[in-house]
Amino acid sequence: MAEVLHDRRAAEGTERFSKAHEFDAEGPEEFDTAHDLFADLRSRCPVAHSNDLDGFWVLTRYDDIDAAMSDPTLFSTAVQNVVPAVATTGRRPPLHLDPPEHTPYRRAISPLFRKERMAHWEPIVRDIADRLFAPLPARGTADICLDFSYHLPIHVLAEFFMVPPDEAQKIRAIGKEFNDALQTKDMVKMQRYSLFLYEMAQGIIDDRKDNPLDPLEDPTSALLAARHDGNPLPEHLILGTIRQLLVVGIIAPTTFLGSVAVHFCRHPEHFDLMRSDPEKIPAIAEELLRLYTPYRGFARTPTRDVEIGGRKICRDEPVALSFTSANRDPNMFEDPDSFRLDRKDMPPNLAFGRGPHRCAGEPLARLMLVASLESFAQHCHGFEANGPTPMTTWPEYGPYSVPVRFREPRA
């Protein structure tokens, strides 16, 4: 079914759906623009359509998004996994496949994020965060995204894939160029750097064939060792999986930690709380994840016509699931736009998705976030805004540059 849908969408080319244009997805944005838009849509048009980005629907309420993520037979991710459609260079499991096709790839990589492995990674990630952040406050000013949060996940991913330093540096360089191309919507450059990432992924595969590592510790070895119905996984799909893992964790941490920095510029009292009571850092991290969820455009495609919130969405029309909006839904979270650590009996936030495509790397992402907050609290006294904060475009939410001045210690 997924292949049929994919082929049909491809045959349609750039055909636009004749639906109402109920919101703009390509206008200029400031830090609060997306949250203001989603608050408006939730109240008046929670299932809305835009003609921007080749036309798509967006779900803004928690319950609708939760339901869509929980039913992969009705809402496919194999056709278009984000809005706008940016994948141009092949299938990349597990994100680009639906169950049961995606399951062998997910099963192969999930053990790498088990609790025991996170215990192994905890000191490594903390050391990386400290090495990257500790020198910055002495400069007086810095850009939290460009000088820190962009570099952190790429350093961690290079360690995660157990690649030598020279290959790690290539991943960092190409990852930066790919991110820049994505932000400027330069599809030619994006495709070029995507192909470079495929070449690097193939190099990792070739090396692991000659020098296999423990499948419980190395993702490439895990995929090569995996069996489905007694057969190895197709190598071109292993290649796609490694290519996906190389960059899937770069952009969201960059923009999310940028949002965190903006929050602390606006609320120095919350930074002071983090410094004075470090045991609260995990709870602070969770509330910040809810407030500044960095994905607003993960997509699904209905496999048949469906009605949601009184709106008919036809088969094959892309639907964006705005986690960014769901996590501020007032029907689920009291006082949703406020930072509060006293929340009780609230539903789980959807920052990492739900259902079969819930982010497999969630434990490592949380570890990076907590390590970053700990490093902030240890090495500086807070941030003050020191320039504009240009914003990412769909499918992410958050700034890709946050210039700050480091606060002086209070007398």
177-181, 207-211, 228-232, 249-253: segment of lowest average pLDDT: 177-181
Out of 1-5, 15-19, 77-81, 194-198, give the one with best mean pLDDT: 77-81
pLDDT digits 0-9 by tens, 355-400: 999 998 999 999 999 999 999 999 999 999 999 999 998 999 999 9
Q: Which residue has the higher pLDDT, 327 or 354?
A: 327
pLDDT of residue 406: 98
Give me the torsion for CA of 216, 148, 348, 114, rounded to 10°. Answer: 10
Whole-model pTM? 0.91
Q: What is the mean pLDDT of the segment spanning 250-260?
A: 91
Neighbours of 89 (CB within 10 A): 16
**Highest mean pLDDT of the ranges 84-98, 196-210, 265-279:** 265-279
Express each pLDDT in 2-36 by its tens digit: 343 444 444 443 334 457 899 999 989 999 999 99
Which pLDDT tens digit goes with each residue over 99-139? Answer: 999 999 999 999 999 999 999 999 999 999 999 999 999 99
In the Cβ-directed half-sphere of 107, how many Cα atoms lie within 13 Å?
Answer: 11
| Residue 90, pLDDT score | 59
Arithmetic mean of pLDDT over the chain: 90
pLDDT digits (tens, 9 = 90+) for 286-341: 999 999 999 999 999 999 999 999 999 999 999 999 999 999 999 999 999 999 99
What CATH code would you report for 2-406? 1.10.630.10
User: Residue 20 is which amino acid?
Assistant: A
